[in-house]
A and B are shown apart, each in its own frame.
Chain A
C-alpha cells in the first residue's frame, strides 16, 4: 500500500462519509455540496484523460460539459411539454429518463469532441490551447443566439429526471447516482492508464516520434483520447444540469473550461484522484471563503498562482509525494 493509495482511499471515504453524516443530521445543503463535488470531479476525470494522459491542454472542455447539459435540457423540456424533438424522417420524443439522457449526452458530446478534436489536433502546443478555447466560445455564442432552447436565459426543468427504482429528488439518492458514476469513471480511467492504449498515448505525449517509428499514429491515439475525455465530461454536464434542474449558456463559458482545468491542476495533473481532490478543495473554498468575502475568487487566484509557481504536483503530489514510474 503506497501513500497515494491511502490518500485516495481517504478522499473517497470522506466523500461518502460527509453526505451520509449530513443525511443523518438532516442537512440537505451539505449533501448537495458533496453532489457537486462528485459531478465536477467527474468532469475533471474526463479532462484528465486528455490532459494528464495525453498531454492535451484543452481549454475548451466546457463545450462538452455544455453539450451534456443541453442534451439533458432539450430532451427533458420536450418531454415536459409533450412535443416531439423531431417528427421526420423519424419520430424522436423527449425523455425524462436519466439513463437515456446520459446515453444521449455521451453520444452527442463524443461527436462534438470528434469534430473539435479532428480539427484542433492538426496543431499542437499553444495553437491547440487557443483553438480549443475558441471552439468552446463558439458553442457559447451559439447557445446564446439560438432562441429555440431559451437563448441567453437557458432552460428550466420543473422536476428532476427519473431513474428506475430511485427517487432522484431525494438529495442522498441523487448523490448516490452521481457518486456511482464517478466511481465508474475512475475505474475506467484507471484501466485506461494501464491498458495498451494508455501506454501508447502516454508514449505519444513523451515522444511522438517514437510512437511513429513503431508504426502508430499519435494523431489517432490523441483523437480517441480526446473523444473519450469529451464524452465523460459530457456525462458530467448532464448530471450537473440535473442537479440544478437548469441549463444555460454559462455551462459553455470559458470560465467553466478554466475551472474544470483548475480542479485537475489543484488536485494534481495525471493523478487518478487529482480531479476528486481538486473539486473537493474548490467547493470547500467556495463555501468557506465565499462565506467570508464576496471576492473569494481573489483568494482562489492567489492560491492557484502559488500552486502553479511553487507546488507542482497539486494536492495529491503534496500529500503523497512524487509519483514513481508505475510498474
Chain B
C-alpha cells in the first residue's frame, strides 16, 4: 500500500461522491419541494448519457455532447413532469412509486428499442485524456479530475442558486409552505416544472460525464439511483447540504472499502478467501453505514424531524 495509491483512491472516491451528489440533489429537491419520490430519476441519468453518446457520434464534440445531455434530460424531465408527474403530487407514496416504476419500464425499453441492447461508448476527448501530475508526483487521469472539479463547481452553483437567487427563495419557500408561495402569486405549477427539469438536467449531466468512463447502456441509471437514495437517507430528505455530505461519505466509503477491506482480511486469512470476503463485505459497506446512521439519527444527518 503506497501513499500514491491511497491519494488516487481518495480522489476516485471524491469523484464518485460528486457524481452521486448530482443525482441526489435533484431527488432531494423534488422530494423537498413537491413531496414526490421519483424512481425514474435514474432514467434521466440514462437519457443524459445516451443523448451525449449520440451527439458525440454525430458532431464529434464532447462539449456539444454535454450540452445535448443537459438539454435532453431537462426536456425529458419537463415533459414527464407535465404529462405524468404533476398528477402524482397529491397521491400517496405508493402511487408515486408505481407510476415512476412504470416510467422506468417505458424509458428503458424505449431506449433499448431506439438504440439497441449493445452498450454505446462515449470517448473522452483528446484534450482531457491522459494523466496529469499532481503535487507530490501523483499521476491521476485528467478526465476524472476535470469532472470532479466540474461537479464541485456545479454544487457551488447550486448552493448559490438556492440561497441567493429569486428562484432559490421560491424553492425554499415551497419546501416550507406551499400555500404561502401560492398566496404570494408565484405560479406554482411552473415552479414545479422548473425544479423537476433542473433536477433532471443535473442527473443527465452526471450520466454523460460518467458515461465517458463506463459504458452507456440501458439500466445504467438504477444502481446509481439506489445509491442516491442511500445518500439521501444518510443526509436527510430535502437537505442539499445533507445530500453533498452524504454523497461524499458514500463515495469515499465505497472506494476505500473496496481498497482496504480485502487487504485487512489478508492479515488473518489466506489471499483468495481474503479477497472474496473483503470484496463481499466492501459491497455491503455503504448499506452498513446507512444502517448505523439510521440507528443513530433516523431522520438523517441534516433532516428535519419527521
Give residues in A with beta carbon < 8 Å to B. Answer: 51, 57, 59, 119-120, 122-127, 129-131, 133-135, 137-138, 141-142, 144-148, 254, 258, 261-262, 265, 269, 295-298, 300-302, 304-305, 308-309, 312
Contacts and interface: CB of A to CB of B under 8 A. Distances in A.
B122 interface: no
Nearest to B101: A258
22 contacts: A57-B94, A119-B294, A123-B294, A125-B306, A126-B31, A127-B300, A129-B97, A130-B37, A133-B229, A134-B226, A134-B229, A134-B230, A141-B284, A145-B280, A146-B280, A261-B97, A295-B113, A296-B109, A298-B106, A298-B110, A304-B102, A309-B84
A305 B99 contact: yes
Interface in B233-264: 233, 237
B217 interface: no
A142 B257 CA distance: 14
Interface in B274-306: 276, 279-280, 282-284, 287, 290-291, 294-295, 298-300, 306
B135 interface: no
Interface of B: 31, 37, 84, 87, 93-95, 97-99, 101-106, 108-110, 112-113, 222-223, 226, 229-230, 232-233, 237, 276, 279-280, 282-284, 287, 290-291, 294-295, 298-300, 306
A81 to B, nearest CB: 19
B226 A133 contact: yes
User: Chain A interface mostly helix, strand, loop or mixed?
Assistant: helix
A297 B84 contact: no
B102 A301 contact: yes
A134 B103 CA distance: 20
Nearest to A306: B102
Nearest to B36: A126
Contact of B283 (A134, A141, A262, A298): A141
Contacts of B306: 123-125, 127
Given A59-B97, A126-B93, A254-B222, A305 B112 contact: no
Contact of B98 (A130, A145, A265): A265
A137 B254 CA distance: 14
A261 B294 contact: no
Contacts of A261: 97-98, 101
A294 to B, nearest CB: 8
Contacts of B223: 137
Contacts of B284: 138, 141-142
A254 B224 CA distance: 12
Given A122-B295, A146-B280, A309-B87, A137 B97 contact: no
Contacts of B110: 295, 298
A141 B283 CA distance: 6
Nearest to A135: B287
B98 A129 contact: no
Contacts of B291: 119
Contacts of A302: 102, 106
B287 A138 contact: yes
Contacts of A135: 287
Contact of A147 (B93, B103, B276, B294): B276
Given A126-B37, A130-B37, A297-B109, A304 B98 contact: yes
Contact of A127 (B113, B237, B282): B237
Nearest to B95: A308
A210 B306 CA distance: 18
Contact of B290 (A57, A59, A131, A305): A131
A304 B84 CA distance: 12
A321 to B, nearest CB: 20
A263 to B, nearest CB: 11
Contacts of A122: 294-295, 298
B93 A125 contact: yes
A297 B112 CA distance: 11
B282 to A, nearest CB: 8
B258 to A, nearest CB: 10
A301 B100 CA distance: 9
The 9 A-B pairs of least Cβ separation, nearest first, read: A301-B105, A138-B287, A301-B106, A141-B283, A130-B229, A304-B102, A305-B102, A297-B109, A298-B109
A41 B290 CA distance: 32
Contacts of A59: 97
Contact of A308 (B98, B233, B280): B98
B58 to A, nearest CB: 24
Contact of A126 (B109, B237, B276, B279): B237
Contacts of B101: 258, 261-262, 304
A205 to B, nearest CB: 11
Given A127-B306, A135-B287, 18 more contacts: A57-B93, A122-B295, A131-B294, A133-B226, A138-B284, A142-B280, A144-B283, A145-B283, A295-B113, A297-B105, A298-B105, A300-B105, A301-B104, A304-B99, A304-B102, A305-B103, A308-B95, A312-B95
Contact of A298 (B84, B113, B279, B299): B113
Given A57-B93, A57-B94, A131-B294, A305 B229 contact: no
B232 A130 contact: yes
A184 B238 CA distance: 44
Nearest to A55: B94
Given A134-B290, A142-B284, A148-B276, A301 B93 contact: no
